[in-house]
Structure 1
Amino acid sequence: MSEVTAEMVQRGRGPTAEEAARRRKVARDVRSARERLTSSIGLERAFDYELLRVYAQYRIGAFLPLVVLACCIAAASVFWAPALMGGAWCAGVLLVVGANTALSRSFLQQDPDALSLRASRRRVIVGEMVQSVAWALLVLMLVQVEAANARTFVMFVLVIVAAVTTMLAATVPLAAYAGLLPLCAATGALLCLSLEAESVLLVGMAVCAQLFFLFLSNHLHASTVAALQSRAEKDAIFGELEQAKANSDEARRRAEEANLAKSRFLATMSHELRTPLNAILGFSEVMKNEVFGPHASASYQEYSTDIHDSGLHLLNLINEILDLSRIEAGRYELNEEALQLAYVVEEGRHMMGLRARAKNQTFRELIDPTLPRLWADERALRQIVLNILSNAIKFTPPGGEITIKVGWTSSGGQYVSVKDTGPGIPEDEIPTVMSSFGRGSLAIKTAEQGSGLGLPIVKGLVDLHGGGFQLKSRPREGTEVIVTFPASRVMDALPPVAEESHAPVRPVRAA
C-alpha cells in the first residue's frame, strides 16, 4: 500500500505555491506579448500611454520658456530685419506653441482607457513638425538681408531650437525626427545664401550638432523606457507581495479555524472516549483480580490483564494529546507555587524506580540539596521530570546507567539533566524526535513503542515557564536532556512583595 504524503494531499487541494507562481508568470507574459502585438511601437499599452503622458507634461512645462525665447529672438531680429516681419514670425510661432500646449492639456484630461494612442501619437508628430516649420521660417528673414552676422544668428537659433525640440520630444522618437527635419533643412538652406568655406564649415557644424541632439534624444528615450519597465516590475512585485499577504492572511484564518475545530473535536472526543474507557478499565480490573471468583480458564485472566493494560495505554495517549493541544493552543493554565526542584526530581525517580529495577538499571544522582525553592506549576514540573525519566529508562538497555543532575545554571537559574547510555539519536533525526508523534529510526528498533508526544510536551511546558530545553545525543553514546529554569523563578531572586504601610495616627489634643 502506497504512503500518502503531504505533497500529494496538497496537490489534491490545489496547485502548489511554485505552480501558482509559474502560472501567474505565464499569464503575465502572455498579456504583455498581446499588448506588444497590438501596439504600434512594440511596447505595452501602459508604456505607450506613459511615454505620451511624459511628452505632454514636458510640452506644458516648456510653454512659458518657449514664449520667452520666441519673443527674445523677434526682438533681436529688429536690428537686421523689418519689425513687422519679426512680429509676424513671432505671432506664428506663439500660435503653434499654444496649439501644441492645448493639445497636450486635452490629452492629459482624457480617460486613458478611452484614448486612441495611435491617433494621439499622429497628432504629436504633426504638431512637432508644424512647430519646427514655424521656427524654421526665421530663415526667410535673411532673403532681404546680406549681413553675415544675421546668418550666424539664425544658425545659432536653429541649433538651440533643435536641441529643445529633440529633448522635449525624446519620449516619442518619431516626433523628434519629424521636428528635427525642418530645422536641418532650414540650416542647410543657409548654403544658398553663401558658399564660402567659412559658411560651409559653420553649416556643417550646425547640422552635426543637430544630429548629435537627435542621438541624445534616442538615449533619453531608451532610459525613459528602462525606467518605466523597472517601475512596472516593482509594481508587479508589490502586487505579488500584496497577493501573498492576502493568501497568508487567508491561510492563517483557515489554520485558526482548523485549530479551533481540532480543539472542539478533542474536547468532545475526550469525554466520549473516557466514558466507555473507564468502564473498560473498571470491569477489566475486576476480571483481572477475580473479584467474583476464579476464571474457568487461566487464559481469561491473562486476557483481562492485556485489556486493562491496553486501556491504560489508550488513556495515557488521550491525556498526552489533550495536554499537547492545550499547550499549542495557549490554553494550558499554570497553577504556580513554591516548589523544591530536588524533591520533585527525587519523587519522580522513586516513581520510576520499579521500571528501572525491572531492567536492572541503576541511577546515579548528583543533586544539590541546598537549592532554594522554585516558583513553578507542580503538575507541569512533575510531568516534565517523569517524561524525561521515562524516555531515559525506555531507551537505556538492561544493565545501563542513568545520570540525574540538579543544580545551578551560570545565570542564576536551576536545571535538571537526565543522561542515559542508550543507542542515541542521529543528528539529522533530532528535529523528527522533537516533532509531534515523531520517533527516531534507531530508537524504534531498540526500544519500546511510544506515542512520540513526550518530548514535545516537555518542551511546551518548559516554554510556558520561560525556561530552556536542550537535547544532546550521538549514536551509541547515549542521550542527554537538559531543562533549565530562569533565575526569575528562583525564590531567592524574586523581590519581596511590597505592602502598603500605614503610619499610626496620633490623637490631637485640643488647645
Structure 2
Amino acid sequence: MSKGVSTSTDKIIVDKSRSHRNTAVSKAVRMTRERLQAGPSNTSGFDREMLGLHIDSMLQGAIAMPIFVLIVTGIGIYLSQSLDLVLWGIMGLCVHALGILLARRAKTLDIPVELVPSWQRRFLIVQIVFGCCWAIFMLQDCDSCGPVNYGFFKGAVLLIALAATAMSTFLLRNALLFTFIPVILVLAGITLNTRDAGYMALTAVVSTSLVFLVFMTKRMHRANVHILSVQSEKDDLIAELEVAKSMSDEARRRAEEANLAKSRFLASMSHELRTPLNAILGFSEVMSTEVLGPLNNPIYKEYTGDIHRSGQHLLDLINEILDLSRIEAGKYDLSEEAIQLVEITEDCIGMVQLKARTKNISITEQFEYGMPSVWVDEKSMRQVVLNLLSNAVKFTPSGGEISVKVGWTAGGGQYLSIKDNGPGIPEEEIPVVLSAFGQGSIAIKSAEQGTGLGLPIVQAILAKHNGQFILRSKLREGTEAIAILPSKRVLQSVPAVEDAPAVARRRKSFA
C-alpha cells in the first residue's frame, strides 16, 4: 500500500493545489501598484494619520497648558491683588481637561476614515471654547494696577498663548485660527469702545502674529503631510517588493518542481520506450532480412522495412530529447580528443549520401586539407555535422545542390559551412527554429517533420566547445548553417623530436 502511495506521489510532482497562491499574489501586487500610482493627491488623504498624530501630541503635552494657566493665574492675582482670575483659571483647566478626555477617548478607538471629519470638528470645538477662555482673559481688568503694566501682562500672556497653541495644534487644520478668532473679535471690540492706543497696538500685533503663525502652521502641516506621503510610498514599495519576492519564490519553486517532473519523465521514458523500441528494431530487421526464412508475401517484407524505419526514427527523436535534457541539466560531459574536422565531415557525408542520391541531390565539397587537428568530443562533433547535413538533405528539393565547406576562420579557428538551395527560412522565423521544439512554417508543411531539437542541440554542443553557431537563410534563397570552433580548440603542429645520435651524425656530416 505504501508503495502505491509513493508511486502516486512521484507521478504528481507539481502541486496544483497551491496554484491559487499565484492569483492572490498577483492581485496584491496589482492593488499595491494602483495605490502607488493613484496615491492621495491632496492632504485629505492623510487626515486620519494627521488626527492620530494630533491626539498623540495632545496626550504627550497634556501637562504643559495647565502649568501655563496656573502661572498666568498666579501672576494675575499677584498684580491685581484680587481673586477674579481664579474663576478664569478653573474654567481654562476644565476646558483643557475636556480636550484631554476627548483625546484619550479617541486614542482607545480605531477611528474609521468616514468618521475622521466628525472627530476633527469635536477637537475644533474644544479649541474654540478654549479661545473663548482667552477672550474672557482679555476682558479682565485691574483698577488698582497701572494700565500699562496690566496691559503689557495681558499682551505678553496672549502672545505666549498664541505661540504655544500654534506649536501644539499645527497638526489639526485651522485649529489656531478658530482658537484666536474670539480673541481678535474681543480685542477689536475693546479697541472700538475705548479708542485706546495701547489696545489698538495690541490688536494689530496679535492679528499680525496670528496671520504669520497661521501661514507657518499651514506650511508645517503640508510638510508633515509630505512626510506621511513619502512614508506611505516607502511602505507600499516595501510591501510590493515583499509580494514580488513571494511571487518569485513561488515561481522558482514551481519551476524546480516542473524541472524535477521533466527529469523523472525523461528518465522513465528512456527506460520504458527505448527497451521495447530496441526489440522492435531487432525483430523487424530479422524479418526484413529473412534470417529465419523467406516471407511468402512481399507486402509483409515491405511492412517490416517500414516498421524498422519508423522505429529508428522514433528512437532518434528520443535520443535527441534525452541529449537536450542532459545539456540543460549540465550533465553533458565532453570526452575530448584530437580529431580531423575534414575526416569527420567526409564520414558524415558518406552516411547521408545514399539518401541524397535517392532525391537526386548533389553534394559538393570544398575542403582545406592539411589543417591541424581540433581538440573536441568526436561523438558530439559527428552529431553536429550529421544533424546539419540531414537537415540540408531533408529540406533540399529533388535535383538540388548542397555545398559543404571546411576551412580556416579569420581568428585562427576552423569552420564548417553547409549551404543548400532549398526553400529557405523567413528571417523572422530564425529565432524560432533555434529554440527548443521550435519549427518554422516550411518544416511544419514538410512531410518529414521532427521534434525541432536538431538545431538547438547543435547550438548547445558548440557552446560547450566555446564555439559559435550561425544560421543564415532567406525565403526561396536557401539556408547556410555555419559551425565555428575557436582558435584555442585548434592543435598547433609540433615538429618531430630527433634523438641525440641522429643529431650528432648530422653535425659530423656537415663538419
Same topology, TM > 0.5? yes
Deviation at 1:130, TM superposition (A): 6.9
Asked if the contact 1:128–1:175 (Cα under 8 Å) also holds between the matched residues in 2, the reply is yes
Deviation at 1:306, TM superposition (A): 0.6
Give the RMSD, CA atoms, in angstroms: 5.0
SS of the equivalent of 1:288 reads: helix
Of all paired residues, the percent bearing the same amino acid is 43
Distance of 2:64 and 2:122 partners within structure 1: 22
Change (3 A) 1:412 1:169: farther
Distance of 1:112 and 1:410 partners within structure 2: 80
Change (3 A) 1:67 1:304: same
Distance of 2:430 and 2:86 partners within structure 1: 92
| Residue 31 (structure 2) pairs with residue 25 (structure 1) | yes
Change (3 A) 1:442 1:133: same
Asked if the contact 1:395–1:447 (Cα under 8 Å) also holds between the matched residues in 2, the reply is no
Moved more, 117-126 or 470-479: 117-126
| Residue 54 (structure 2) pairs with residue 55 (structure 1) | yes
Change (3 A) 1:361 1:60: same
Distance of 2:170 and 2:57 partners within structure 1: 10
Deviation at 1:459, TM superposition (A): 2.0
Q: Which residue of 1 aligns with 2:12?
A: none
The number of aligned residues is 467
Deviation at 1:231, TM superposition (A): 3.5
Q: Which residue of 1 aligns with 2:456?
A: 456
| 1:489-500 correspondence runs (5 A) | 489-492=489-492
| Alpha-carbon displacement from aligned partner over 1:455-506 (angstroms, at most 9, x marks no partner) | 121222223333333322221122222333444444459xxxxxxxxxxxxx
Deviation at 1:319, TM superposition (A): 0.7
| 1:210-229 correspondence runs (5 A) | 210-211=210-211, 213-218=213-218, 220-222=220-222, 224-225=224-225, 227-229=227-229
Q: Which residue of 2 aligns with 1:330?
A: 330
Distance of 1:94 and 1:490 partners within structure 2: 98
Change (3 A) 1:314 1:92: same
Asked if the contact 2:96–2:130 (Cα under 8 Å) also holds between the matched residues in 1, the reply is no
| Alpha-carbon displacement from aligned partner over 1:399-431 (angstroms, at most 9, x marks no partner) | 333333444445554433322222121123223
Distance of 2:268 and 2:294 partners within structure 1: 38
Change (3 A) 1:211 1:312: same
SS of the equivalent of 2:424 reads: coil
| 1:178-189 correspondence runs (5 A) | 178-185=178-185, 187-188=187-188
Which protein has greater RCO, CA pairs closer than 8 Å, 6+ apart? Answer: 2
Asked if the contact 2:337–2:377 (Cα under 8 Å) also holds between the matched residues in 1, the reply is yes
Change (3 A) 1:52 1:411: farther
Moved more, 280-289 or 138-147: 138-147
Distance of 1:420 and 1:403 partners within structure 2: 6
Asked if the contact 1:166–1:179 (Cα under 8 Å) also holds between the matched residues in 2, the reply is no
Q: Which residue of 1 aligns with 2:388?
A: 388
Q: Which residue of 2 aligns with 1:352?
A: 352
Asked if the contact 1:394–1:447 (Cα under 8 Å) also holds between the matched residues in 2, the reply is no
Change (3 A) 1:231 1:327: same
Change (3 A) 1:97 1:408: farther
Q: Which residue of 1 aligns with 2:266?
A: 266
Deviation at 1:333, TM superposition (A): 2.1
Change (3 A) 1:380 1:105: farther
Amino acid paired to 2:277: L
SS of the equivalent of 2:375 reads: strand
Amino acid paired to 1:467: G
SS of the equivalent of 1:425 reads: coil
Distance of 1:23 and 1:16 partners within structure 2: 10
| Alpha-carbon displacement from aligned partner over 1:238-258 (angstroms, at most 9, x marks no partner) | 323322321221122122112
Amino acid paired to 1:180: F
| Alpha-carbon displacement from aligned partner over 1:330-388 (angstroms, at most 9, x marks no partner) | 22222233333343333323332333333333334444445444333222222122112
**TM-score scaled by length of structure 1:** 0.72
**TM-score scaled by length of structure 2:** 0.72
| Alpha-carbon displacement from aligned partner over 1:111-164 (angstroms, at most 9, x marks no partner) | 886999979868855775576567667646765566569757855764564355
Asked if the contact 1:56–1:107 (Cα under 8 Å) also holds between the matched residues in 2, the reply is no
Q: Which residue of 2 aligns with 1:7?
A: none
Structure 1 alignment gaps of length 5 or more:
1-9, 33-41, 494-511
Asked if the contact 2:92–2:133 (Cα under 8 Å) also holds between the matched residues in 1, the reply is no
Structure 2 alignment gaps of length 5 or more:
1-15, 494-511
Change (3 A) 1:302 1:242: same
Distance of 1:149 and 1:366 partners within structure 2: 118
Change (3 A) 1:208 1:417: farther
SS of the equivalent of 1:173 reads: coil
| 1:236-315 correspondence runs (5 A) | 236-315=236-315
Asked if the contact 1:424–1:474 (Cα under 8 Å) also holds between the matched residues in 2, the reply is yes
Distance of 1:179 and 1:24 partners within structure 2: 45
| 1:341-420 correspondence runs (5 A) | 341-369=341-369, 371-420=371-420
Q: Which residue of 1 aligns with 2:500?
A: none
| Alpha-carbon displacement from aligned partner over 1:189-224 (angstroms, at most 9, x marks no partner) | 552674268964763564255245435544544554
Distance of 1:292 and 1:354 partners within structure 2: 28
Distance of 1:325 and 1:160 partners within structure 2: 82
Change (3 A) 1:197 1:94: closer
Asked if the contact 2:29–2:244 (Cα under 8 Å) also holds between the matched residues in 1, the reply is no
Asked if the contact 1:184–1:210 (Cα under 8 Å) also holds between the matched residues in 2, the reply is no
Q: Which residue of 2 aligns with 1:232?
A: 232
Asked if the contact 1:419–1:479 (Cα under 8 Å) also holds between the matched residues in 2, the reply is yes
| 1:57-72 correspondence runs (5 A) | none
Q: Which residue of 2 aligns with 1:316?
A: 316
Distance of 1:65 and 1:334 partners within structure 2: 83
Asked if the contact 1:416–1:484 (Cα under 8 Å) also holds between the matched residues in 2, the reply is yes
SS of the equivalent of 2:392 reads: helix
SS of the equivalent of 2:303 reads: helix
Amino acid paired to 1:283: F
